[in-house]
Amino acid sequence: MRLFSHLKLRKSSRFPKFGFYRFLLAFVFLIALMPAASAQAQTPTPSPEVQRVLNSMSPEERVGQLFLVTFTGTNTETDSQIYNLVSRYRVGGAVLLAQNDNFASESDTIVQTRALIENIQKLAWDTSASPVTDPATGKTVKYAYAPLFIGIAKEDNGYPTEQILNGLTPLPSDMAIGATWNVKLAAAVAEVRGRELSALGFNLYLGPSLDVLESPSVSGGDFDTRVFGGDPFWVGEMGRAYITGLHTGSDNRLLVVAKHFPGVGSADRLPEEEVSTVRKSLEQLKQIELAPFFAVTGGALSPESKVDGLLVSHIRYQGFQGNIRATTRPISFDPQALSQILALPQFSAWASQGGLIVSDNLGARAVREFYASGGGQFSARIAARDAFLAGNDMLYLGNIVSGDSSDTYSVTANIIEFFTQKYREDPAFAQRVDASAARILAAKMRLYGSFSLSNVTASKTPLFEIGTAGDITFDVARNAATLVSPDRQDLAAVIPLPPQQNESMVFITDTQSVKQCSTCAEQPALAVNALQQAVLRLYGPQSGNQTANFRLTSYSFQTLQELLDAQNPESIESDLTRANWVVISLSGALQSQPALVSRFLRERPNILRDKRVILFSFGAPYYFDTTTISKFTAYFALYSRQPQFVDVAARLLFQEITPIGASPVSIPGIGYDLISVMSPDPNQIIPLSLDLAPVPAMTESSITPEATAIPLFQIGDTIAIRAGVIKDHNGHSVPDGTVVRFSMLLTGEGGGILKQVDAVTTQGMARAAFGLDKPGLLEIHVTSEPALISESLQLDVSQSGAVAVTVVVPQLTQPAAPTPSPSITEEEDPYISKQGYPLFSAWIIAMLFIVFSAWITYGIAYRMAQKRSAIRLALGIALGGLVAYNFLAFGLLGVANWLASRSLSGVAIFIFFGEALGFAAGWVWAQRD
């Protein structure tokens, strides 16, 4: 009331007519602007060095720091786009893209990229070292120097998400890393990536993706292998390890911006194609989508483990604040929704320490279509302004175009000039720009300590060391390889032996041609004969002679499509008919490749009958339904198309290695539900022990270690208990937050449960404590549903004095095995192999049979005709018999091998048939006389 009476006094004494209402309107307008500024409410005070650089900047320079731009080509001369963007518009950074021809051909990609980045950084230095003439105003100006962010939006796994196709170490996809369930491998992969990118001069990495693929799309259209998995805890663990590796490998000279904040794993389409709407409230987002971002921003993280920035995605939420009928704007343009998320404690503390908020690509088609959805024309500068006022510090413009211009350079320049004009006219806007520019400069200062060209372009890694760390990729491939179908215990039954020396294989491969730049030569993303060549290299004549080239043939999916469309391509049908193994390599689902495979299995079962059909998915593992999966003899998931994964596929085919990975996402086609799989395994005994302080590590000065005292307990004491590590169904630690129940029981007569304590796991372990306030024989055990069996701690506090704790380990009771039905032992045929081919003993008998037939024919013909005719008839029979036997030995005729596989008599019948044809040929030959 005192406040309102004060306002009333002010109105009556000093405000002119309607002045009070103007004051109220201004106050309401100020309140409306508060959400836009709230993201910067926790902006840290700039350091003196940052403040000095900021004070020396003109409005144009401060505005320029906000923008990440793109440009075409590799030219940095005075007539180039990038020269003007750096020298005139003073942009804060640039992102290099393969689609913009920023990388040269495969022969010198690495050398050219490093030279390009150094030239761009040198532009910023040269134009600040001495006064220059502003071409717009004609005035001489002196610019302050700040290094540029040179970024790359790189997602390993080759085309289409890879920007640099040649020269760098081929690294696995995020999902392949997730399938190892090994954070050390995640850090090792990222360390290689950080070291190599930093050596080229990159200092900004737009990644990794921390999206949670909660419900995979069987028809495609999701992130495929560009995510670590479908569980928020493990995505956070892998993401934190990957970020740590990037920082460590680059010697903390790489700014890491995680994406796609606040998480788009539940979207039904890719964010760059269309703005998705997800029906989730903020509370639901905190449980799933936001959890991985909490893992890399909140808590007591080391500087290496903490992400430097968040890339804000263009995604909408329905029911964000609980009202299911209310839908946000895309988060990247919605100041209220974005500020509400950033106000969460995990993010507000991180932002107060200098964390950057970066908009996702404003040049994406999804943004244009969203703004044009109301029937209006897309204005790039309005979209950029909205994104900035929503709370983004830095704006990634990408290849942005506008309704009135399709030239990215012109549109970019127009946006920067619009921001500069607004800076000069609007003090509130200028304050926002200054705050974001200070945060950006502080981030750059953390990378380099001080701004100098020699410091920015220095690299500790020589170029010849780049691209040499393929061993880590092979380690990931070996640990990620997953058997999708059948179950592991059934694999030996369906494939008892690897391909044999006399068996034929047909490889059908999903291949595409890609180019590093528009003028570069094409190269295969996954060569049509990639797996065949790997098999020959590892198991061919030069490596154990387990197979030969003439028994192997390779075809593309295009040829398979032609076969199904009855276009009679090449000889694929005859090769498939003759083959013993059909091996299909699938690389993704962008072009409906899984549908083609399903169609092949459905329409041509006659070709595949009695053959082993093997599928290797070098993409995601969830494209097929139950019916299709049942038609594969075996189905393996590799998750990545890199050469090392093709080698692992060949080793799996020949049973040299065993698949030990586990899918990090759900696979509906086999009933593999990730939530169920990651729950505690009921077939385990949960370890239980006293939660004692760790024993100090031994030092060199220690001579004789002291014996560890056995803890004793009595009435009135508190006993601390630790359970775990608790394992899930895949044998890994259960996620943090898994509920564990500790129970203390009084045994004996009148006993029962005394106390129960619920706790949650951290790193697979849970802790609890009980007060010993009642005498008797006490027993403590633990459960974590559905795991109900644990070790027990027993102590008898009914006696006088202190007592020790006894650990009791129960025995798992295995279910009684079903009585096996009598098996019929199949006797081995001494003449015919299991695959239907004649053995050496059959060869001896066949040769004797052929010689005997020829000799009998010669003897009879010699008596009835001339000697020459007798020889020709005998040779005809001999050659006919030999040709027939070779058909059997080399499996050149399916019917022949089917007949021979029955018995030795089948071999004899077929040879006799060949001899009859040979006799006929010899008869015709003899009649010429």
User: Tokens representing 691?
Assistant: 């939660």
Q: Which among 666, 664, 527 has a CA at the least distance from the CA of 158?
A: 527
Contact 680, 734 (CB under 8 A): yes
Name which residue leads in pLDDT, 523 or 272.
Answer: 523
d(CA 351, CA 360): 18
Confidence of residue 571 (pLDDT cuts 50, 70, 90): confident
Identity of residue 725 = V
β partners of residue 316: 277
Q: Is 523 exposed, middle or buried (0-12, 13-18, 19+ CB in 10 A)?
A: middle
**How far are the Cα atoms of 1, 14, 26, 28, 122 from residue 8, in angstroms, in the given order?**
10, 10, 17, 17, 61
What's the rounded Cα separation, in Å, for the pair 113 and 130? 27
pLDDT (mean) for 467-476: 94
3-class secondary structure per residue, 23-36? HHHHHHHHHHHHHH
Buried b (16+ CB within 10 A) or exposed e, 556-582: bbebbebbeeeeebeebeebbbbbbbb
Task: Assess contact for 110 and 168: CB atoms under 8 A.
Answer: yes
Query: At which residue do the structure tokens 């239907």 appear?
Result: 836
pLDDT of 569 reads 72
Q: Is 384 exposed, middle or buried (0-12, 13-18, 19+ CB in 10 A)?
A: buried
CA 232/CA 242 separation, integer angstroms = 15
Band (221; pLDDT cuts 50, 70, 90): low
Nearest-angstrom CA–CA distance, 531 and 651: 10
Q: Would the pLDDT of 801 be above 60?
A: yes
309-340 pLDDT per residue, tens = 999 999 988 888 777 778 889 999 999 999 99
Residues 155-176 pLDDT 10s: 665 566 678 888 899 999 999 9
Q: Give residue 116's pLDDT.
A: 95
Q: How many CA atoms within 13 Å lie on the side-chain side of 658?
A: 6
The count of other CB atoms within 10 Å of the CB of residue 513 is: 11
Statement: residue 448 has pLDDT above 80: yes
CA pair distance 611, 833, nearest whole angstrom: 16
Kindly tell me if the per-residue pLDDT of 826 is higher than 90: no
End-to-end CA distance of the chain: 134
For 905, counting Cβ atoms within 10 Å of its Cβ (0-12 exposed, 13-18 middle, 19+ buried), the class is exposed
Query: What's the maximum distance between 2 C-alpha atoms anywhere in the chain?
Result: 146
Please report, as a single letter, which amino acid is at residue 850.
Answer: I
Whether 861 shows a pLDDT value over 50: the answer reads: yes
pLDDT of residue 462: 84
DSSP character at residue 670? G
Which tokens belong to 319? Answer: 């029911």
Tokens representing 499 are: 């391909």
Look at residue 42 in the predicted model and tell me its pLDDT. 56
Instruction: For 784-911, list the strands marked E by DSSP.
Output: 792-796, 806-808
pLDDT tens-place string over residues 624-638: 999 999 999 999 999
Q: pLDDT tens-digit profile of 700-736?
A: 555 555 555 678 888 888 899 999 899 999 999 999 9
Whether 392 has a pLDDT exceeding 60, the answer reads yes
Q: Which token pair is 179?
A: 């399938």
Residue 135 confidence class, pLDDT cut points 50, 70, 90: low
| Among 827, 828, 849, 852, CA closest to 909 | 849
User: Considering only 61-70, 824-833, 860-869, 903-912, which range has the smallest mean pLDDT?
Assistant: 824-833
Question: In the chain, count of helices (H) and strands (E)?
Answer: 32, 28
Per-residue DSSP letter, 756: E
CA dist., res. 180 & res. 188, Å (int): 13
State how far the Cα of 453 lies from the Cα of 148, in Å rounded to an integer. Answer: 11
The Cα–Cα gap between 723 and 742 comes to 9
What's the rounded Cα separation, in Å, for the pair 597 and 599?
Answer: 5
Name the residue type at position 319.
Answer: G
Tell me which residue of 38, 47, 99, 92 sits closest to 66, measured CA to CA: 92
What mean pLDDT, rounded, does the chain reach? 84
Residue count of the chain, please give it.
929
Whether residue 125 contacts residue 44, with contact meaning beta carbons closer than 8 Å, is answered with no
User: In this predicted model, what pLDDT tens digit does every residue of 252-310 receive, in sequence order?
Assistant: 999 999 999 998 887 777 777 778 888 888 998 999 999 999 999 987 788 999 999 99
Sign of the C-alpha dihedral, residues 45, 358, 238, 165? negative
* Residues paired with residue 258 on neighbouring β-strands, in sequence order: 310
pLDDT at 5: 39
- Pairing mode, if any, of strands 777-783 and 739-746? antiparallel
pLDDT at site 64: 96
For residue 242, the one-letter residue type is: Y
CB 186 within 8 A of CB 131: no
Mean pLDDT of 408-414: 95
Q: Which range, of 277-281, 381-385, 673-677, 843-847, averages the lowest pLDDT?
A: 843-847
Choice between 820 and 207, residue whose per-residue pLDDT is larger = 207
Give the pairing of strands 356-359 and 309-312: parallel
Q: Read off the pLDDT band of 836 (50, 70, 90).
A: low
Q: Answer for the pair 794, 779: CB distance below 8 angstroms, yes or no.
A: yes
Which amino acid type is present at position 299? G
Residue 377 is predicted with a pLDDT of 79
Structure tokens at 714: 């009595």
Sign of CA dihedral 772, 774, 780, 785: negative
Cis peptide before 262 (omega within 30 of 0): yes
Task: Determine the pLDDT at residue 632.
Answer: 96
- Indicate whether 806 pLDDT > 50: yes
- How high is the pLDDT of residue 424? 94
Residue 198 makes CB contacts below 8 A (sequence gap 6+) with 249, 250, 251, 253, 254, 459, 461
Identify any residues that bridge with 741 across adjacent strands, giving them in sequence order. Answer: 758, 783
Q: Which residue has the higher pLDDT, 868 or 581?
A: 581
CB 344 within 8 A of CB 336: no
Task: Name residue 553's beta-bridge partners.
Answer: 506
Taking 90 as the threshold, does the pLDDT of residue 651 lie above it?
yes
Strands (E), 455-531: 482-485, 505-509, 513-514, 523-524
Residue at token pair 């000279």: 253
- Contact between residue 342 and residue 351 where contact means Cβ atoms under 8 Å apart: yes
- pTM for this structure? 0.83
Contact between residue 855 and residue 871 where contact means Cβ atoms under 8 Å apart = no
- Single-letter code of the amino acid located at 143: Y
Type of residue at 875: L
Q: What is the CA radius of gyration of the chain?
A: 36
Q: How confident is the model at residue 882 (pLDDT cuts 50, 70, 90)?
A: confident
Model pLDDT for residues 352-374, shown as the tens digit of each residue: 999 999 999 999 998 998 888 77
Q: For position 506, what pLDDT does the model report?
A: 96
Q: Decide if pLDDT at 852 tops 90.
A: no
d(CA 202, CA 96): 9
Q: In what order do the strands lie in the sheet with 395-396?
A: 356-359, 309-312, 255-261, 204-209, 149-152, 93-96, 67-69, 395-396
Which residues are CB-contacts of 889 (< 8 A; sequence separation ≥ 6)? 502, 837, 838, 843
**Minimal CA–CA distance to 246: which of 295, 308, 299, 297?**
308
**Position of tokens 């483990």?**
305
The whole-number pLDDT of residue 8 equals 39
Between 188-202, 720-734, 832-846, the lowest mean confidence (pLDDT) is in 832-846
pLDDT at 437 over 90: yes
Chain centroid to Cα 200, Å, comes to 24
Tokens of 724: 């775990």
pLDDT in tens, 594-603: 999 999 999 9
H or E stretch covering 862: helix 840-864
Give me the mean pLDDT over the 551-555 stretch: 94
Q: According to the model, what pLDDT value does residue 27 have?
A: 43
Helix (H) or strand (E) holding 614: strand 612-617
Q: What percent of the chain has pLDDT over 90?
A: 53
pLDDT tier at 21, thresholds 50, 70, 90: very low
Apex 63 CA angle, 57 and 69, nearest 5? 120
Q: Provide the β-strand partners of residue 617.
A: 586, 637
Over the stretch 56-78, which tens digit does the pLDDT of each residue have? 999 999 999 999 999 999 999 99
**Are 238 and 185 spatial neighbours (Cβ–Cβ below 8 Å)?**
no
